[in-house]
């Protein structure tokens, strides 16, 4: 069964979930269209706001790829072109498709696009919206999640690491929690599958730094007890 429809044109590569239908629609990636008919979802994300739109197939999220870190001071949203399948949007779409297919808590990928301009390209991705979710950062700003939620975050991270998933930007903004306490990871830009190794500990250390940063920004203190519960949930494995 074909699960992706690919569209090619001059300087353009796009793919989308076959369940949407056979046709490619440029409006899926038209940010002005989304601004007029949708809404910003989270303008606090470090690499720009993402937008939501109620579509006939459900509610979708559009994210444009922006540079992060020191490089973003000089280059906003362009990347070196080394082939369509190596573009960030296509790689993330295919990884999300795989992770969603094995039951990991990620948004279902809808469509991805890359537009080439000579030696560089720009990219976008569309995923399903995860309803009734808030970021861990938002929870921290409101006093923090409860003990069961901290443990659930740890168990969820362990599931991803056991599956060999290295999330390259594991932070408090990319962990979403729904009203029932379910935990999801989002923004798999530049993520990859790897054999077990020290990278998993580096990922949790990155998250700890992010939690400390959020605490400083809100003028509070790092939740050491919450972190202890997270680590205990992580050590307990995916089935604890």
Both structure tokens of 230:
């997270």
Distance of CA 174 to the CA centre of its chain: 6
CA–CA dist 173, 164 (Å, integer): 21
Catalytic-residue membership of 169: yes
Q: Coil, strand, or helix at residue 159?
A: helix
Catalytic, out of 169, 187, 189, 223: 169
C-alpha torsion 58→64→133→38, nearest 10: -50
- Facing residues of 18 across strands? none
Rg of the chain on CA atoms, in Å? 18
What residues are labeled active site?
Answer: 169
């Amino acid at each position: 069964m074909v699960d992706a429809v690919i569209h090619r044109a001059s300087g353009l590569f796009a793919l989308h979930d076959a369940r949407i239908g056979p046709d490619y629609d440029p409006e899926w990636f038209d940010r002005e269209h989304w601004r007029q008919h949708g809404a910003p979802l989270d303008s606090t994300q470090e690499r720009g706001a993402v937008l939501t739109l109620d579509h006939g197939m459900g509610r979708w999220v559009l994210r444009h790829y922006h540079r992060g870190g020191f490089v973003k001071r000089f280059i906003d949203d362009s990347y070196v072109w080394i082939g369509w399948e190596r573009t960030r949007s296509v790689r993330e779409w295919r990884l999300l498709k795989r992770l969603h297919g094995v039951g990991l808590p990620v948004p279902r990928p809808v469509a991805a696009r890359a537009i080439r301009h000579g030696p560089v390209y720009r990219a976008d991705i569309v995923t399903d919206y995860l309803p009734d979710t808030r970021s861990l950062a938002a929870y921290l700003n409101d006093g923090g999640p409860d003990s069961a939620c901290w443990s659930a975050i740890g168990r969820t991270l362990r599931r991803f690491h056991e599956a060999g998933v290295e999330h390259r930007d594991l932070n408090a903004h990319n962990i979403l929690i729904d009203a029932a306490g379910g935990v999801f990871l989002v923004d798999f830009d530049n993520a990859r599958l790897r054999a077990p190794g020290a990278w998993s500990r580096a990922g949790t250390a990155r998250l700890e730094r992010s939690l400390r940063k959020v605490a400083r920004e809100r003028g509070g203190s790092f939740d050491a007890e919450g972190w202890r519960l997270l680590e205990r949930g992580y050590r307990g494995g995916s089935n604890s």
